Structure 1
């Protein structure tokens, strides 16, 4: 199977430590992180993705807000600059340990953080990155 992710969720997963908007959101995110860690492919999508699913049935989810769409645009640009020489972001791709380390390194230096401006989780993500990603849920299985 393939995990469908909006571009900014590709950044969010780098610092995911089991916290989210609701218990259902967090439980769903835990499953997605486990799937990615087990080697499922990622497909970058526009609009709500597999992470958003638990929020879509609640009132007016922020998933459709212009600010979130702009966050995705900025994240896609930043990730493309970093990864495009190595992978094709227009189709499904596998996240490997080298790519994860590269993404986390670029996240720590702020290189791929323009999309994070104004995000309510930025302080948490800053702290996780400063800690060297201690306690993060995403690890990539190696064979």
Structure 2
């Protein structure tokens, strides 16, 4: 199988530590983190993805807001520059231990955080990065 992620979730998965919008959201994200940790590939999608699933059906879900699409665009720009290849809808990424370490190094150095500006989780993500991702649920080491 393949984990379907919108672009800015390539950044969110780096610092996910089991916190989220609701118990259902956290349970779903935990399952996705386990799949990524086991080596499942990632496919970039436009709009709501596997992480959004518990929220996407709610009438007031932020998953469909234009500001979230803008986060995706910023993440695509940053991740494409980091990987030195174009990332777009349909791109498949094998999250190897080396690539995960590269993503995390760039995130900690603020090289890929354009999409994080204004995000309510940004402070927590900064703490996780400062703590060297010790409690992150996505592990590939």
- TM-score normalised to the size of structure 1? 0.93
Query: Which residue of the partner structure matches residue 82 of structure 2?
Result: 82
Shift of 1:88: 6.5
Query: Which residue of the partner structure matches residue 100 of structure 1?
Result: 100
Shift of 1:41: 0.8
Describe the SS at the equivalent of 1:19.
Answer: coil
Unaligned runs of 5+ in 1: none
1:1-143 paired onto structure 2 within 5 Å: 1-85=1-85, 90-140=90-140
Aligned structure 1 segments of 4 or more residues deviating by more than 4 angstroms:
87-90
Describe the SS at the equivalent of 2:135.
Answer: coil
- TM-score normalised to the size of structure 2? 0.94
Aligned residues: 140
Q: Indicate if the aligned counterparts of 2:75 and 2:114 stay in contact, CA closer than 8 A.
A: yes
Instruction: Give deviations 1:113-143, integer Å, cap 9, x for gaps.
Output: 01000000000001111111111111126xx
Change (3 A) 1:88 1:112: closer
- In 2, Cα distance between equivalents of 1:140 and 1:73: 26
Shift of 1:58: 1.8
- In 1, Cα distance between equivalents of 2:96 and 2:84: 14
Describe the SS at the equivalent of 1:20.
Answer: coil
State the superposition RMSD in angstroms: 1.5
Unaligned runs of 5+ in 2: none
